[in-house]
Amino acid sequence: MASSGSWVPVGETTRVSNATRSSHSRPPMRSTSSPLLRDRGVASTPLGVPISSSEIEPSDVVILVSGTTGSGISNFISKLTGIAEDPRTHDLTSYTTDVRVYACVRDRQRFVFVDTPGFNATKLSQRAVLRKAAKWLKSTYQNAIKLTGVIYMCRITDTYSSRAEQQSFRIFYGMCGRKAAGQVRLVTTMWDQVDDDTSAWQRQNRLEIEWESLLSAGALCRQFYNTSESAWEIVYGLGYQRKVLLLQRELVDERRKLKKTTAGMRAPENEVLNFFSGIRKLFKF
Ligand SMILES: Nc1nc2c(ncn2[C@@H]2O[C@H](COP(=O)(O)OP(=O)(O)O)[C@@H](O)[C@H]2O)c(=O)[nH]1
Ligand SMILES: [Mg+2]
């Protein structure tokens, strides 16, 4: 497979109007990839490796993947890196509880994917989940690492967004901010499980209304068909720009405490969870 050497983004507009957004984001992703993608060798997935955050280089394309628990964050990264999913993730009571970083090289460009704990987790408060991502975002920005992309995953097969899911999106929006929106992708997963296309697209349209704040600032919706090819198409579509997230500016440049940041103010502590985790620590069980 020929390699193109220098890496350029696949043609994709960063802003589309409301009218074109839905049709623009419809298949052909489910079928074969574009010639451009085939030239890059998208059919074969390079095997990635877990790395530590300190190994990330400023020249890496760094993409952070977020979303609600069980939305498909880890699975998406697994499709990109070829690293098998942790079998424990098939039981939704155990899930990614810490930030994990994976790297793989494609067309001489190193890609780094950041797997984060999902919002709306049963055992962690929204603030606790945000704290983990915030710690990582703060230290990497202090080490001059900027993100190329931020992806938010959501299942298309859910019939509606719960209050907690809507809150998760608001926290995510507060984390990214409008200035970074051009590098944000709001990705619906589970399209390979869709039986009824009409209701799936109705759900997609409702989500686009819920996500209007970020979409109007330049974020784009994409669909994930649970294949490596579909995952890479989303990643290549991000291009190569790097952005500082609002949360990074607030934490590092403005030296705010997490609870005083835009995202932090939208992420409540769960008093009941805190109480039980305090009891657990006290009695060591
Ligand atoms: N069929 C299908 N399964 C998916 C998709 N995304 C995630 N899953 C499955 O859903 C479960 C939860 O996914 P996971 O990536 O662990 O969720 P996370 O909590 O967001 O990291 C796993 O069993 C995945 O294999 C998808 O697009 N299609
Ligand atoms: Mg996970």
| Domain ranges, ordered by start, for the chain | 49-266
Q: What angle do CA 66, 70, 74 make, to 5 degrees?
A: 55
Q: What is the pLDDT of residue 19?
A: 35
Mean pLDDT calculated for residue range 141-160: 97
Structure confidence at residue 44 as a pLDDT band (50, 70, 90): low
Mutate to test the pocket of ligand 1, among 73, 78, 89 (most ligand atoms within 8 A of CB): 89
Ligand that lies nearest to the alpha carbon of residue 71, given by its number in the listed order: 1
Above 90 in pLDDT, residue 168?
yes
Q: How confident is the model at residue 28 (pLDDT cuts 50, 70, 90)?
A: very low
Please give the average per-residue pLDDT across 50-67, as a whole number. Answer: 96
Amino acid type, 26:
R
Look at ligand 1, atom 8, and give the residue with the nearest C-alpha. Answer: 72
Checking if the pLDDT of 271 tops 60, the result is no
* pTM for the model: 0.82
Which tokens in the block code for residue 192?
A: 């390979």
- Protein residues with CB under 6 Å of any ligand 1 atom: 67, 69-75, 85, 89-90, 95-96, 118, 153, 189-190, 192-193, 224, 226
Mean pLDDT is lowest, of 30-44, 161-175, 245-259, for 30-44
Q: Are strands 149-155 and 61-67 parallel, antiparallel or unpaired?
A: parallel
pLDDT at 84: 83
SS (H, E, C) the chain: CCCCCCCCCCCCCCCCCHHHHHHHCCCCCCCCCCHHHHHCCCCCCCCCEEECHHHCCCCCEEEEEEEECCCCHHHHHHHHHCCCCCHHHHCCCCCCCCCEEEEEEECCEEEEEEECCCECCCCCCHHHHHHHHHHHHHHHHHCCCCECEEEEEEECCCCCCCHHHHHHHHHHHHHHCCCCHHHEEEEEECHHHCCCHHHHHHHHHHHHHHCHHHHCCCCEEEECCCCHHHHHHHHHHCCCCCECCHHHHHHHHCCCCHHHCHHHHHCCCCHHHHHHHHHHHHHCC
Read off the pLDDT of each residue in 132-157 and give the average, rounded to a whole number. Answer: 97
User: If you average pLDDT over each of 84-93, 97-106, 244-253, which comes out highest?
Assistant: 244-253
CA angle 199, 200, 204 (to 5 degrees): 115
Q: 276: pLDDT confidence band, cut at 50, 70 and 90?
A: low
Q: Which fold has domain 49-266?
A: Rossmann fold (3.40.50)
Determine the atom of ligand 1 nearest the C-alpha atom of 77.
15
- Give the span between the Cα atoms of 180 and 219, in whole angstroms: 8
Task: Examine the pLDDT at 150 and tell me if it is beyond 90.
Answer: yes
Return the higher-pLDDT residue of 116 and 13.
116
Answer for the pair 131, 247: CB distance below 8 angstroms, yes or no: no
Sheet with 109-115, strands from edge to edge, namely: 49-51, 100-106, 109-115, 61-67, 149-155, 184-189, 220-223
Taking the C-alpha atoms of residue 6 and residue 276, their distance in angstroms, rounded to an integer, is: 53
pLDDT tens, 188-207?
Answer: 999 999 999 999 999 999 99
